[in-house]
Structures are given as structure tokens and as C-alpha cells.
Amino acid sequence: MDIVTLVVVIAVIAVVVLGATSGLVISSRRKKQLPPAPPTTPSVTAPPAEPQVGEDAETPRDETRRTIEEVVLPPAEAPVEAPVEEPAAPAAPEVEVPEPTAGRLVRLRARLSRSQNSLGKGLLTLLSREHLDEDTWEEIEDTLLTADVGVAPTQELVERLRERVKVLGTRTPEELRVLLREELLKLIGTDQDRAVATDNAVGKDGQEIPGVVMVVGVNGTGKTTTTGKLARVLVADGKSVVLGAADTFRAAAADQLQTWGERVGARTVRGPEGGDPASIAFDAVKEGIAEGADVVLVDTAGRLHTKTGLMDELGKVKRVVEKHGPVGEVLLVLDATTGQNGLVQARVFAEVVDITGVVLTKLDGTAKGGIIVAVQRELGVPVKLVGLGEGADDLAPFEPEAFVDALIGD
Ligand code: GDP
């Protein structure tokens, strides 16, 4: 009996030991298998690794659960997790492809005609009256003045319209439209070169340097936004751009500009807040030369209502940049909604720096598009771009024909 009991006891011990051993083996194998899983799903697999430690005690049940999770879930998730590769994508920063610039004004004309209604349509309605008496001509004049066309151009236009209408005799709406279109185009001018000058130039030491464009204007007119949008216009036209954040007066301007640049893959050269704008502008052109960029756009500060300060600052920026080579374009940004005030600004800027082109912003928010005529007269330089909204691609090369067609409808 004792021997039998002994044999039974030994047998039981053997079974228990065997069972435990095999359990451990499975468990340890499991553990070895688990680590390889994480690589597939870094963030998802990391947490399951922890429960493993405490689970050793409850081996069978948890092993089963884990097996199901591993066998069933991962394969199911695997395809879903393929996008896990996405994090790799950010390595290449998202660079947008701006809208082509050709025909932008035509595409944005709805905004223009909405805001310009009172000018073009108003003139047509008045000219269509059966009797064009003095009161009507006065109304025509008032319409033009209200739209900020300016006194002298208004008088010239009214004079010409009077003559032509007299010659015409009876007027059909179509004849009137053609006549008004021709006269407005004459007023705006169709033969100026409205392209932004961005061609490479010859630098001081004879080497080729990027085209340099300085963007000037009073803060709040949309200067920095316009610089950013212009970078997009140039990139859309196949040019490479470096931005110079020389508006060190307005705290957020450099960040704002850098964000615009990053969106289209253009580097922004910036300095410390309140730093010397001229040295930033100098460095930006230097960077442009080093990168072999096509164009360097320099955003400047426009805080000033004291002419001396403005002259000192803008003059210095220009002179310092010219140590590299010529500045090809100085664009004055004017807010179309400011009317006569805008003209006063234009005058002040023109006295301190040679303006070569005008950008009229916020034309989407005003019926005063006549300022185009007035500012061109005032400065003797063409409007080259117009801003028609806050969207990234809402800056359009100015095309007189498309503009006038939007004014009077075609
Ligand atoms: P800055 O101080 O002259 O550099 O002015 P910002 O570039 O910061 O622009 C001032 C404000 O004008 C911003 O809210 C711009 O979005 C807005 N803005 C600029 N251009 C246009 C435009 O063409 N249309 C409209 N509606 N808003 C504009």
C-alpha cells in the first residue's frame, strides 16, 4: 500500500511539474512573440505589452485572450494601420500648389462686379436715359466722384462721353456699353507694362542676382498678406522665392510671412523683433543669391506717419539692398477702401522711395474701384495687382479689360 501510495504521489508530482513546465514554456514563448508585434503598430501595441507582466499568473485565460487579439485583431487592423506610414509623410512639409495666375481676375470677377455695381451699372443706367439733360450729366459726374475716380479724370470722362453721345444720336444699350467700355479703358490705360518686374539682375560684382521686389505701404493695408500672396503668384508662375521679413515693427508680421512662405516652400529670412529692417533685407537678398532663387520679396514696415522716419527707414532698406545689386520693383500696397486717405499715403511714399507699381487691396469690399484711375494719375505708375479677398489666391494680376468688363457686365 505504501509503495502504491508513493507511486501515485510521484505520478501526480510528475504530472504537475510537466504541466507547469509546459505552461511556462508557452508563456515565455508568448512573451518572446509579443515584442515583435510592436513595430507594426508603435502606439497601439505599446500598451498591451504592460498587461503581459501581470498576466503570467493567469496564464491560460489571458493567453487565450491575447492569442485571439493577436490572431484576430492585428490582421484585421493591419490594413487599417497601413496609414501608420502617414507619420513618415510629414517629413516632407506640405507644399501647396497655388492656382495659376492667368485669368485670375476673370475668375474673381464676381467679387469685383458685386462691389463695383454702383459704378459701372450706375453709369450705364444713367447714360440710357432718354433725355440726357444737365441733371443727368451731373449725376454721372457724382457717380464717378463717389467711386473715387478723382476730379480731373471725372471731368475728362464726362466731356468725352458728352461728345460721343451727341455724335451717336440715338443710343442702343449695346452701343452705350461699347462706348463706355472704350472710354473707361482709355482712362485706365491699356498700354502700360503691368507685369511685376522679377527678372534676374546683374549684381554689384557682375554675377547674376535674383530679382528683388520691395513691398511698402502703411500697416493695415494688407502689405504682409500681399507679400505672401505674391509669393504664391510667383511660385504658381514657376519661380523660386525667398522672403525677407523686414517688417520688424509689427510683432506678428514675421511669423505671418513665414507661414505664407512655408505653404509654398519659400524660405523666410527674419531677424529679432525690433531688429534692423535693412540688415534683414540685406540678408534676405544674400540668401536669395546663395540659394540661386529667382526672386526675393522684402516686406517692410509702414508704421510711419512722420515722413522723416519713413524716409530714413525705407531709404536705408533700399540703399542697403542695393549693395548687392538693383531693386527691380518697389510695390506700394494701398487699401482701396480708404479712398482719399490712400491717395495721401501714396503721395508720401512716392516722395521717399521710387514706387514702380501699385497693389490695390480689398477691392472686394468697396464700390470705390475708381481709385485705380486716381492713384495711377497721382503716381504715374500702373496698378499691377489687385486684392480681391482674404483667400490665399485672391490676388490677381490687374487686367484693365477684365476689370472694365466686370464693371459694366458684358
Ligand atoms: P499689414 O499690416 O499691412 O501687413 O496688413 P496685413 O497683411 O496683416 O492685412 C491686414 C488685413 O487685411 C488682414 O486681415 C488681411 O486678411 C486683410 N486683407 C488683405 N488683403 C485683402 C483683400 O484683398 N481683401 C480683403 N477682404 N481683405 C484683405
Beta carbon of 261 within 6 Å of any ligand 1 atom: no
Which residue's CA is the nearest one to ligand 1's atom 21? 362
pLDDT at 407: 83
Q: How far, in Å, CA of 197 to CA of 199, rounded?
A: 6
pLDDT in tens, 18-72: 444 443 333 333 333 333 333 332 222 232 333 333 333 333 344 433 433 343 3
Strand-by-strand arrangement of the 383-387 sheet: 267-269, 241-246, 295-300, 211-216, 329-335, 357-361, 383-387, 395-397
Beta carbon of 410 within 6 Å of any ligand 1 atom: no
C-alpha cell at 206: 557682375
C-alpha cell at 47: 500598451
Write the secondary structure of 265-287 as one string of H (helix), E (strand) and C (coil): CCEEECCCCCCCHHHHHHHHHHH
Beta carbon of 221 within 6 Å of any ligand 1 atom: yes
Which residue's CA is the nearest one to ligand 1's atom 17? 222
pLDDT at 39: 32
Of 16-20, 178-182, 203-207, 355-359, which range is least confident?
Answer: 16-20
Ligand 1 centroid to residue 127 C-alpha, Å: 36
Ligand 1 centroid to residue 277 C-alpha, Å: 21
Give, in order, the Cα–Cα distances in Å from 310 to each of 29, 258, 347, 350, 353. 77, 24, 13, 11, 9
The DSSP output letter for 246 is E
**pLDDT over 90 at 240, yes or no:** yes
For the chain, percent helix, then strand, then coil, each to nearest 5?
A: 60, 10, 30
- Report yes or no: 296 and 211 within 8 Å, Cβ to Cβ: yes
Beta carbon of 392 within 6 Å of any ligand 1 atom: no
Helix residue ranges, H only, 267-392: 277-291, 307-321, 340-352, 371-379
Of the candidates 386, 375, 368, the one whose C-alpha atom is nearest the C-alpha of residue 346 is 375
Q: What is the pTM of this model?
A: 0.77
Burial 139-169 (b: 16+ CB within 10 A, else e): bbbebbebbbbbeebbebbbeebeebbeeee
Q: How far, in Å, CA of 15 to CA of 13, rounded?
A: 5
Ligand 1 centroid to residue 333 C-alpha, Å: 10
Question: How does the average pLDDT of the chain come out, rounded?
Answer: 80
**pLDDT over 70 at 142, yes or no:** yes
- Report yes or no: 313 and 260 within 8 Å, Cβ to Cβ: no
The DSSP output letter for 100 is P
Beta carbon of 380 within 6 Å of any ligand 1 atom: no
Beta carbon of 225 within 6 Å of any ligand 1 atom: yes
pLDDT in tens, 370-410: 999 999 999 999 999 999 999 999 999 999 999 998 888 76
Mutation test residue for ligand 1: of 248, 390, 393, the one with most atoms within 8 Å of CB: 390
pLDDT in tens, 280-327: 999 999 999 999 999 999 999 887 556 677 767 899 999 999 999 999
pLDDT at 7: 56
Cross-strand pairs, 396:
386
Ligand 1 centroid to residue 119 C-alpha, Å: 24
Beta carbon of 228 within 6 Å of any ligand 1 atom: no
Ligand 1 centroid to residue 225 C-alpha, Å: 6
